[in-house]
């Protein structure tokens, strides 16, 4: 089996663990790779990030949730399952402790560790003439905000379903988050949005510091699409995907968000979703 190791940047513990896991995999007849450009251990070949999805059977992430989101962008379109080993802080997605990594790998290689699918969002930016300029896929969230200046922006948000377009709201806020159920415990939660369990197929629309007490988060069906426009001209407004990639939103651009046909595949531990919430957030 071809197993990729994706390391958290500038994390010495990740380099050390990659060397251990690489040797462990080789001793059992499997082929380990380091994903990226950095040689971390003698004899471990490197797979460029752009080629990882087509050359790996499994991706092992050594880092935190941010590193796993980076890995998702590399391999999820190819259906490569991801095992997250937590070297970060909260670790909602990277649930395996470093000392359990070898045992978890054994179960992965034996086909004994179950997987689950997590919904992702395809975010596309369209020019004024309707031409798609760029598209990216988010596992956590799409955020529209004006990060450079502390100013309100005004956003027109519409829901499209069965060919009909309906205005949800015109938000005056610091920005807007559109989150997956997976991302509902990230920025969405900090902004006052609801927790949505992973099995629910829905998008969560949460304004950031809305300038209206009546604005509340909205949960939209996964069978719909969302269209976001600037309702008033504003400078330096950006669209950010999973905190990993961003681009500037022009005045006439339309941001369209829909469910991606290719989910993220994660290896699942024996802990339930609510076990993780209670342990990580001291919830309930």
Among 21, 26, 172, 145, CA closest to 83 = 21
Taking the C-alpha atoms of residue 31 and residue 20, their distance in angstroms, rounded to an integer, is 13
Domain count, the chain: 2
Question: Are 63 and 186 members of one domain?
Answer: no
| Confidence band for 177, pLDDT divided at 50, 70 and 90 | very high
Taking the C-alpha atoms of residue 240 and residue 8, their distance in angstroms, rounded to an integer, is 20
Q: Look at 220 and 92; give whichever has higher pLDDT.
A: 220
Question: Are 59 and 185 members of one domain?
Answer: no
The DSSP H or E segment spanning 262 is none
216 pLDDT higher than 90? yes
pLDDT score at 269: 85
Indicate the Cα dihedral angle 83, 88, 90, 96, nearest 10°.
Answer: 30
Question: Are 129 and 251 members of one domain?
Answer: yes
Q: Are 34 and 55 in contact (CB under 8 A)?
A: no
| Confidence band for 246, pLDDT divided at 50, 70 and 90 | very high
- Residues of the domain holding 113: 2-118+264-281
pLDDT score at 259: 98
Tell me the CATH number at 189: 2.60.200.30
Q: Is 77 a catalytic residue?
A: no
DSSP E strands in the chain: the ranges are: 2-7, 31-35, 46-47, 58-63, 82-86, 115-118, 121-126, 132-138, 141-145, 153-161, 164-173, 175-179, 202-208, 218-221, 225-230, 238-241, 245-248, 254-259, 264-267
Question: Are 190 and 232 members of one domain?
Answer: yes
Question: Are 97 and 126 members of one domain?
Answer: no
Tell me the CATH number at 36: 3.40.50.10330
Taking the C-alpha atoms of residue 134 and residue 35, their distance in angstroms, rounded to an integer, is 25
Question: Are 173 and 202 members of one domain?
Answer: yes
pLDDT score at 151: 82
pTM, two decimal places: 0.94
Q: Pick the catalytic residue from 57, 65, 156, 253.
A: 65
Q: Are 158 and 167 in contact (CB under 8 A)?
A: yes
């Amino acid at each position: 089996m071809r197993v990729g190791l994706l390391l958290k940047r500038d994390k010495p513990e990740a380099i050390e663990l990659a060397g251990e896991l690489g040797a462990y995999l080789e001793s059992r007849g499997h082929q380990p790779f380091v994903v990226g450009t950095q040689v971390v251990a003698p004899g471990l070949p490197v797979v460029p990030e752009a080629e990882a999805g087509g050359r790996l059977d499994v991706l092992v992430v050594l880092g935190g949730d941010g590193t796993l989101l980076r890995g998702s962008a590399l391999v999820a379109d190819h259906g490569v399952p991801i095992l997250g080993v937590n070297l970060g802080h909260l670790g909602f997605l990277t649930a395996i402790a470093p000392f359990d990594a070898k045992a978890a790998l054994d179960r992965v290689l034996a086909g004994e560790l179950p997987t689950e699918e997590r919904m992702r969002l395809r975010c596309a930016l369209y020019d004024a003439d309707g031409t798609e300029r760029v598209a990216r896929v988010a596992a956590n969230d799409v955020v529209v905000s004006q990060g450079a200046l502390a100013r309100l922006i005004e956003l027109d948000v519409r829901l499209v379903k069965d060919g009909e377009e309906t205005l949800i709201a015109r938000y005056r806020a610091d920005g807007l988050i559109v989150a997956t159920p997976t991302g509902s415990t990230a920025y969405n939660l900090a902004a006052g949005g609801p927790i949505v369990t992973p099995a629910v197929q829905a998008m969560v629309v949460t304004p950031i510091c809305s300038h209206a007490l009546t604005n509340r988060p909205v949960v939209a069906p996964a069978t719909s699409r969302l269209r976001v426009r600037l309702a008033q001209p504003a400078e330096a407004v950006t669209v950010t995907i999973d905190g990993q990639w961003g681009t500037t939103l022009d005045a006439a651009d339309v941001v369209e968000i829909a469910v991606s046909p290719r989910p993220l595949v994660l290896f699942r531990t024996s802990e339930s979703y609510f076990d993780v919430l209670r342990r990580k957030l001291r919830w309930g």
